[in-house]
Structure 1
């Protein structure tokens, strides 16, 4: 099993091109099931989760091809993928596929919308909380689907098609909003989604669906209006930049010192996170090229944060910011409000010398003068990279084990950091 080896102490300087967003790419790929024509997606990131979802979609009958997969390909730019579900050959998604990635459960929406039936295994994925799918199924029921749970599978039926309805989520749910938008796009009549997720990835999916012929207004706000259409067409769409990847590298240069240009991302995708980094001592500027983050080596300041749905501080950057706070002067409080079990990285950071105390949904981080390299274990997709950030500033050598978690969400991590001065390498295992 591969490992990442890091020798800490080097500042980061240079340019990092930001990849397409994983959290946008997955629902966009799933939307290909809604039409029998070709959906072309540019700037698709090269990630294990993208490859896994392509395999799952192929099980349903999606033909999938990628431009430029040949020797000498420029891996610094995203892939262009062509997906066509000319014929749905299977409306079942088995456990052995869905259990590997939670987002693949969302195929239930286009399958029941297009075929009137779907049988999808209840999901697996990162063990960072229960994250039940009840709100996703509630949205489908509001649209007229009959839902039954049978032996670990969600069985959805709508033989006469879905019907527009009013859907009000009791709490903000990104997955629920994705599912509701996809299902309502071809439902008969109008749908109103209240308390919708406002994440940029939701707006990106809506933009793509509209290119396919859907009539969606208000995506990116808490109220989304959808007028159902009879069918959707193919389209050409570019995946938006990955704000979590950008925030991760912004945190890394705040940790190590140096000067990074995060190319291709806008400050508007990361306002809360960049404000926290500025308060901690980083300098952030932006232009039409991207976001530049600098720290001249002065000490870090302790900053309190609480995760929240967009436009609040992203839960997917919580672990990275915690790593940064391990070296800050004073005590910071980091409150996790989205997932109840997203502090698994705390014990691994402690192996590097961090001083962190947990009190319910809050981590109390007392900054230390130095971290020490050590062997650590990646625990889940996003938290794993917090260990890399800590290792970049630690004395000596850090070995991050179980890096398949990193490969699910971060494209060419060691290459991008290495090109900017980090002493980092992948060790094949």
Structure 2
């Protein structure tokens, strides 16, 4: 069995430590990548790819990173054990498993490797130092706050990490928790929270439909005394799947028009049995890889409904797809790819996580494409490596004015103008973040010559067994497993 296929029984990840404060940004990235890769069995930090070979074949996509990790946190709310199926073998899942284990949750595997069992009978306070060490680069600890305040009356959040794609303020989270009655104390080592009078329902309006803040409110409100009204909530499919999980546990949650969610607090919740929704981001990434490499990839486990916005853009660029009961086939039908203008937005708009891999395909389109990034303020850093390889991408740090736009302009937005087609040549590149890293893999696969892509452990945060999947699709690469 290859390293990419390992499915060991979950345990507290070993050897995770925070980068030394004196490390450079580059050293911190390498440190982080090594930790992430180690959690899922990657023993090497780099892959050498020979470009020019179309990716063809079938791969399977399992549960969404953005649902599975939150569903795992929800197990803290139940009085009885929970079962989560379709769990992806990614490092973010291992991080959350480690944090749950630190708090006394017993985690075991079911008959299938992607079935995990969680017993929260003995939840207890974890040491701050252990939380800090095992959180690694994940931002998931912030979502432990509501459940731990309900179970233990206290919670601790270490310094939050995650992909370096711009500021990730947690003010939305902390403001919401204060509305429920939490007392927040900022410490040099992180943030300490207590609930001396318990948590009570609140009327909350988010300044932006943040996915994380919406999850925070849901995980907190279900056991809070009274009713909570959440306005301007995120409504991504992963949010809906989390609501389904909470309802299975005994929660009372109503969704109203115009991004309004009502939650009636209950006295207790039970465990759940649930199959996680598929990972839309991974599916779109492989679709973009098929388009860029002039390949043909069947992505199993994917549904059309949650991918409709992406499928429209994929077709506009010139890609083709067939929808089947068990997945979607994506391929390049021949001919020239077409330029497009895309604006990222919250669901049901075009996801920010979809634009990065698609940008690589757009370097091969005939004409000028424009991507307006309205969700994160620094998500085009990955294009530097693409330009080094021969792409023609100009990033406008303050965005671009366009009268025809449908998404409201935001102060922090950026825009990228991609002019193509431009042949790409091999280069040594360093993975900067999760989605940008996968984009670099795609670029290396269409570039002439051999490229070395380093820090690939970061990609393991959200792409299950991606090395093995590249093998299944016939990619030409060398990886020292």
After TM superposition, the score normalised by the length of structure 2 is 0.84
Which residue matches 1:298?
335
| CA distance in 1: counterparts of 2:448 and 2:80, whole angstroms | 54
Q: Check if 1:159 corresponds to 2:196.
A: yes
Equivalent residue, structure 1, for 2:166: 129
2:301 aligned residue: 264
Encode CA deviations 1:122-149: one digit per residue, 9 max, x unaligned. Answer: 3112111111111011111111222222
Report whether the alignment pairs 1:38 with 2:81. yes
Q: CA deviation at 1:264?
A: 1.3
Q: Is the 8 A contact 2:79 2:268 kept in 1?
A: no
- Is the 2:181–2:197 Cα contact (8 Å) retained in structure 1? no
Give 1:330 deviation, angstroms.
Answer: 0.9
Flag the 1:380–1:247 CA change in 2: closer, same or farther, 3 A: same
Classify 1:242/1:221 alpha carbon distance in 2 versus 1 (closer, same or farther; 3 Å). farther
- Matching of residue 403 in structure 1 with residue 446 in structure 2: no
User: Aligned partners of 1:24 and 1:401: how far apart in 2?
Assistant: 28
1:320, distance to aligned residue in structure 2 (A): 0.6
Give the structure-1-normalised TM-score.
0.94
Is the 2:283–2:302 Cα contact (8 Å) retained in structure 1? yes
Identify the match of residue 66 of structure 1 among 97, 109, 134: 109
> Equivalents in 1 of 2:381, 2:264: separation in Å?
43
Pick closer, same or farther for the CA change 1:219–1:282 going to 2, 3 Å: farther
* 1:355-392 C-alpha deviation (Å, 9 max, x unpaired): 11111111111113411122111111111000111112
Determine helix, strand or coil for the equivalent of 2:86. Answer: strand
Shift of 1:308: 0.6
Residues paired across the two proteins, number: 420
Aligned residue in 1 for 2:30: none
Gapped runs of 5+ residues in structure 2?
A: 1-43, 398-413
**1:303-342 counterparts in 2 under 5 A?**
303-342=340-379
CA distance in 2, matches of 1:368, 1:138: 47
Instruction: Establish whether residue 387 from structure 1 lines up as the match of residue 430 from structure 2.
Output: no
**In structure 2, do the counterparts of structure 1 residues 219 and 391 end up closer, same or farther at CA, with 3 Å as the change threshold?**
farther
Residue pairs, 1:92-171, within 5 angstroms: 93=128, 94-171=131-208
Residue 412 of structure 1: aligned partner: 465
Change (3 A) 1:91 1:181: farther
Q: Do the aligned residues in 2 keep the contact of 1:381 with 1:405 (CA within 8 Å)?
A: yes
Runs of at least 5 residues in structure 1 that lack an aligned partner in the other structure = 69-76
Alignment match of 1:14 (pick from 44, 53, 57): 57
More deviation, 122-131/164-173: 122-131
Distance, in Å, in 2 between the alignment partners of 1:404 and 1:63 is 27
Aligned pair 1:424/2:477, yes or no? yes
Distance in 1, Cα, partners of 2:100 & 2:226: 28
Alignment root-mean-square deviation, CA: 1.7
Q: Distance in 2 between matches of 1:98 and 1:133?
A: 16
After TM superposition, where is structure 1 displaced by more than 6 Å over at least 4 residues in a row? none
Aligned-pair distance for 1:219? 8.3
Q: Is the 8 A contact 1:263 1:290 kept in 2?
A: yes
